[in-house]
Amino acid sequence: MNNNRTVLMISVYYSLIFMAGGGFISYISLYYSFINLDNSQIGLISAVMACTALVAQPLLGTISDKSEKKNGVLKTILLLSALTTWLIPLAGKALWSIIAANIAFSFFHNAINPMSDTITLELAGKYSFKFSRVRLAGSLGYAIMAAVAGWIFSYNIWYIFPVFFTLRILAYVISFFIPAVRGYKYSENQAGFLELFKDKKLVLFYSYAFILSSTFGFFSSFHAIYSKEVGISTALLGIGIMVGSFSQFPFMLVFDRVYKKFGIANILVFCGLAYGIRWFLYATSLNSATIVPLWALHGLNYMVLYLCLTEYVGFSVPKELRTRGQMMNAIVLMGLSSVAGGYLGGIISAVTGLRLIFEACAVICFLALIVFFIITRFYKDFRADAIKG
């Protein structure tokens, strides 16, 4: 397969998996609200999904790293993710059955993105293309689907399931056209998962990213409900999500140059500031006139953390650990953080309301930023990285 066709197939694949995410993750809380689950129950579901990922991602990452071909594992979980989607509407309205359905679904769903990233990073080196440019296709698909989904789901929120299923099946088909990447089944170096944590810088980055991502975990679980509470329509919310996805494009286009020039620590300082400002404005200024510009700040949040950690793990950890490293990225960014933000935020907001939690999220981000800034400027083990990248 030539380089151009490889890049095209991977780009189409990324578009499809993120289109599925744009039509599902952004709106699933509205489905739960529609079947009369309250905020604490929705937060519990988010936490259960995240806890499932904590088990599934290291397990599937280890299987992938030690498999003869990583693509085979990816194809299997793509198919199972599509099929288990239907368990959620079939579960009815009983909380226990919805939780059981989400455990089955999230076991496979949450492993797809980090496993895809590992395969793509290895192919990027072999076929000489930039990962950030391919990932751009994913954000484009997410942006388009977020807007279209907002319009579709305004008619019937149940459409979320056939839309997701169709996109996942298409991604499964396209995955057969992606070149094979071997695992390290026969490698003499059988490094364990905990080897990742011997890298002190990575531990610091994970700790900081976890705090910021916990606030994002709350946002992911409740932003649609909060937007509806302040009078924002589902269609307008979809436009906001689309703008948020498009807002990631500039950073992805210049990521490689920015990363080399400023270094990961300096980028993460800026990211923490953007997180704090965004949540403060959500708490004080969200309405139909401001939702679109506030979503534009999204380009300085999740994607910045995601690309920084993906790049660092992709080139700084032993090759036998790279799938598990990307799985750990997902655990930090969307796993443990979803438990902390989604579950705890849901419980507290049931008493205080959602606005107050956004205020707390802003304070948490600003405090984390101050501590991270001090560590990366005044502790010698981290200072060189902060300056040189």
Condensed to tens digits (0 to 9), the pLDDT of residues 345-369 reads: 878 887 888 899 999 999 999 999 9
Bigger pLDDT: 322 vs 359? 359
**Which residues are registered as beta bridge partners of 69?**
182
Q: For residue 133, name the pLDDT band (cuts at 50, 70, 90).
A: confident
pLDDT for 224 beyond 50: yes
On the question of pLDDT at 321 being above 80, the answer is no
Phi, psi of 182 (to 5 degrees): -80, 155
Written as one string, the DSSP assignment of 88-145 is HHHTTT-HHHHHHHHHHHHHHHHHHHHHHHHHHHHHHHHHT--HHHHHHHHHHHHHHH
Q: Give phi and psi for 177, each to the nearest 5.
A: -100, 5
* pLDDT level of residue 184 (50, 70, 90 thresholds): low
- Give the DSSP letter string of 187-216: -S----GGGGGG-HHHHHHHHHHHHHHHHH
Residues 252-269 have a mean pLDDT of 88
Coil, helix or strand at residue 318: coil
pLDDT of residue 277: 96
What residues have CB less than 8 Å from 50, skipping those under 6 apart?
106, 217, 334, 335, 336, 337, 338, 339, 342, 343
Q: How far apart are CA 267 and CA 301, in angstroms?
A: 11
Give the burial class of 99: count Cβ atoms within 10 A of its Cβ; 0-12 exposed, 13-18 middle, 19 or more buried. middle
* The predicted structure's pLDDT at residue 24: 81
Q: What is the mean pLDDT of residues 147-169?
A: 85
| Cα–Cα dist 163/31, whole Å | 14
CA 175 to chain centre: 20
How buried is 214 (Cβ within 10 angstroms: 0-12 exposed, 13-18 middle, 19+ buried)? buried
**Mean pLDDT over the full length of the chain:** 84
Give how far Cα 112 sits from Cα of 172, 175, 182, 337, 350, Å. 11, 12, 17, 18, 32
Of 277, 304, 290, 291, nearest in space to 359 by CA: 277
The residues with which 182 forms a beta bridge, in sequence order, are: 69
Q: Give the pLDDT band of residue 191 (cuts 50, 70, 90).
A: low
Instruction: Check residue 388 and give its pLDDT.
Output: 47
Q: Looking at residue 345, what is its pLDDT? A: 82
**How much is the pLDDT for 188?**
46
pLDDT at 214: 93
* pLDDT confidence bin for 216, thresholds 50/70/90: very high
How high is the pLDDT of residue 193? 63
- Which tens digits make up the pLDDT trace of 39-72? 778 878 877 887 887 788 778 877 877 777 888 8
Nearest Cα neighbor of 299 from 238, 263, 252 is 252
Give the mean model confidence (pLDDT) for residues 134-148: 80
> Predicted confidence band at 167 (pLDDT cuts at 50, 70, 90)?
very high
CATH H-level, domain 3-175+197-388: superfamily = MFS general substrate transporter like domains (1.20.1250.20)
| Range in 78-82, 202-206, 259-263 the model is least confident about | 259-263
For position 186, what pLDDT does the model report? 44
Q: Do 128 and 7 touch, CB atoms closer than 8 A?
A: no
What's the length of the chain? Answer: 389
3-state SS assignment for residue 286: coil
Q: Round to whole Å and give the CA distance between 26 and 158.
A: 14
Please check whether residue 264 is in contact with residue 162, taking contact to mean a CB–CB distance below 8 angstroms: no
Domain ranges of the chain: 3-175+197-388
The Cα–Cα gap between 376 and 144 comes to 38
| Whether residue 192 has pLDDT greater than 70 | no
**Model confidence band, residue 386 (pLDDT cutoffs 50, 70, 90):** very low
- The model's confidence at residue 282, banded by pLDDT at 50, 70 and 90, is very high
Whether the per-residue pLDDT at 209 is higher than 90: the answer is: yes
Higher pLDDT pick, 1 / 245: 245
